[in-house]
Amino acid sequence: MSLNRDQSSRLYSEAQQYFPGGVNSPVRAFKSVYGSPLFIRNGHGAMIYDEDGNQFVDFCGSWGPLILGHNHPVIKDEVIRTIENGLSFGAPTVHGNALGKIIVDNHRFIDKLRFVSSGTEAVMSAIRLARGYTGKNKIIKFEGCYHGHVDSLLVKAGSGLATFGVSTSLGIPKGFIDETIVLQLNDLARFEEVLASSSDSIACVILEPIPANNGLLLQDNNYLAWLRLLCDQYGVLLIFDEVISGFRVGFEGASGYYNIQPDLITMGKIIGGGMPVGAFGGKAEIMKKISPEGDVYQAGTLSANPVAMTAGLACLNICLQPDFYQDQEKRTKTFVRKIESHIDAQGYDMHIPQIGSIFWLAFGKKRIVTPDDINSDSMGLFKELHRYLLDHGVYLGPSGYEVGFVSMSHTPQLLERSAEIICNALDHIFKR
C-alpha cells in the first residue's frame, strides 16, 4: 500500500514557482528521502493530516516546539482570546511580563532574559553580547552542533590540523569564518590546548549541551562540567544553545538536567508553544550589557508580541505541572525499549539513543558521541525506513540525521502501536 500524494505533489509543483526549491526551509524539501514533501492541512494531538487525507502519528512535532502535541486546546483558546485585542503593538504588554516571570521564577540559571522571534536570532544576539561583554572576538563551536543560520556559525572543521574552519554556505565572508574556531566534541585535551594558547582572543564557547541536530550526540555530564570549569579558568563565556533542549528535558533544559550553570542560554522552539519565539538570557551581570541598559544593541519589531507570548505562556504553564517531565520520559522510554528489544532479538545493527522525550534511530551498535561516529552509509537504510513508515502512517523528520520527539499527546497506546509499526519497518528494511 503506497501513499496517495496527488494533492501534495500538485501543491509542491505550484510551490516551486514561488519558492527556491519549493520550500521556505531546506530540510522540508525531502531531499534525503523518497518522494516529495507532504502538505499538512491540520494537526490534532499526536496526529497530522495531509492534503490528500492521509493521517500520521507525528514524531517531528514541527521540529521540536510541540511538546504538548498539535493544537493543544489551552494554547488555542488563550491565543484566540489574546488575538481579540490586537496582534502587535511594539510596546510592552502583560503577556511578555507573564512569560518572563514564569521563566525567571522557575529557572535557576536565568536571572534576566530578552525575547526575540527565532532560535537563530537568539544565538546571533547571545554571541554579540558575549563579544560585547568580554571585549573579545573569537568564538569556539563544535562540529555536529547546529545553531541556526548565523553567518559565523555556518562553519565546519577544516581538514587536518587546521584550527580554523571552512564555511558550509556561500555568502559568508572569510573574515567571519576566521573568527570561529571549530573543535570536536568530547575532546577535552584539544579544548584546553586552544584555551591555553588563545583565550585572550576568545569571547565564548557555544554548544548544544544535548546535540540533537546531527543525530543525538549525547555527551558525558563530566565532559560538560569540565568545559564549564575550563571556561571559568580562562575567562571565556560558556553559552548553552538550548533551542532544542530547553523546556524539553526538564523546565531548566540541559542546564538543569546536568546541573551546570552556563553564562548565557539561548532558547527557542518550545518557548513559543508553536509560535515564533526565541530568547536569550542568563547571568544578570552579563544581561545588563544589552541595550537600553548597556551598549550591546539588540532589537525586534515583533519581539515579545502578545500573541506569541500567550502561546508560550500557555505551553510552559502545562510543562510546569507536577510530573510532566517524568511522565514524558517514562512514555518515551517504554516506546524506545519496545523497539530496542526487537532490534536485539533480531540482531539488527542499530540502537536508539534517548534522553527525556527525544530519541534517535541510530544505525550501528556503537555509542555515538561525535559526528564521526555516524555511519553515513546507513542513510540509504533510513530512506527505505522513512518510506515504509509514511506508507504505514508514521511521520518522522525527512532525514536520518533528525531526532524524533514524543509529545504529551502521544498516549501509551499510540506509542505501543507506533513501536509495532517501526518494528515492522525494521523487519522490512533489514530483510529485504
Ligand X SMILES: *Cc1c(COP(=O)(O)O)cnc(C)c1O
The residue (of 123 and 127) whose beta carbon lies closer to ligand X is 123
The residue (of 165 and 278) whose beta carbon lies closer to ligand X is 278
> For residue 364, which of 46, 376, 389 has the smallest C-alpha distance?
376
Q: Assess 118 for contact with ligand X (CB under 6 A).
A: yes
Q: Assess 273 for contact with ligand X (CB under 6 A).
A: no
> For residue 179, which of 129, 143, 141 has the smallest C-alpha distance?
141
Minimum Å gap between C-beta 168 and ligand X is 14
Which residues in 149-188 contact ligand X (CB under 6 A)? none
**CB 134, CB 204: distance < 8 Å:** yes
Q: Report the residue number whose CB is nearest to ligand X.
A: 119
The catalytic residue among 12, 133, 146, 388 is 146
C-alpha–C-alpha distance, residues 70 and 49, integer Å: 11
Which residues in 32-61 contact ligand X (CB under 6 A)? none
Q: CA geometry: angle at 295 spanning 292 and 300, to 5°?
A: 50
Which residues in 124-153 contact ligand X (CB under 6 A)? 146-148
SS3 of residue 430 by DSSP: helix
Q: Applying CB under 6 A, which of residues 134, 213, 298, 418 lies at the interface with ligand X?
A: 213
For the chain, counts of helices (H) and of strands (E)? 13, 18
Minimum Å gap between C-beta 319 and ligand X is 17
Q: Which residue has the cell 493530516?
A: 49
Please choose, out of 15-23, 116-124, 216-224, 257-265, the segment that lies near ligand X by the rule CB under 6 A.
116-124
The residue (of 141 and 147) whose beta carbon lies closer to ligand X is 147
C-alpha–C-alpha distance, residues 65 and 268, integer Å: 8
Minimum Å gap between C-beta 25 and ligand X is 8
Q: Applying CB under 6 A, which of residues 130, 154, 236, 243 lies at the interface with ligand X?
A: 243
Q: Could you tell me the CA-to-CA distances from 300 to 110, 122, 254, 304, 305 in Å, in that order? A: 21, 11, 27, 9, 10
Minimum Å gap between C-beta 402 and ligand X is 11
Q: Could you tell me the CA-to-CA distances from 39 to 18, 36, 234 in Å, in that order? A: 15, 9, 50
Minimum Å gap between C-beta 246 and ligand X is 9
241 assigned to active site: yes
Q: Assess 119 for contact with ligand X (CB under 6 A).
A: yes
395 assigned to active site: no
Minimum Å gap between C-beta 213 and ligand X is 5
> For residue 363, which of 406, 418, 400, 415 has the smallest C-alpha distance?
400
The catalytic residue among 241, 257, 283, 348 is 241
C-alpha–C-alpha distance, residues 130 and 205, integer Å: 9
Q: Which residues form the catalytic set?
A: 146, 241, 269
Q: Which residues bind ligand X (CB under 6 A)?
A: 118-120, 123, 146-148, 208, 213, 241, 243-244, 268, 278
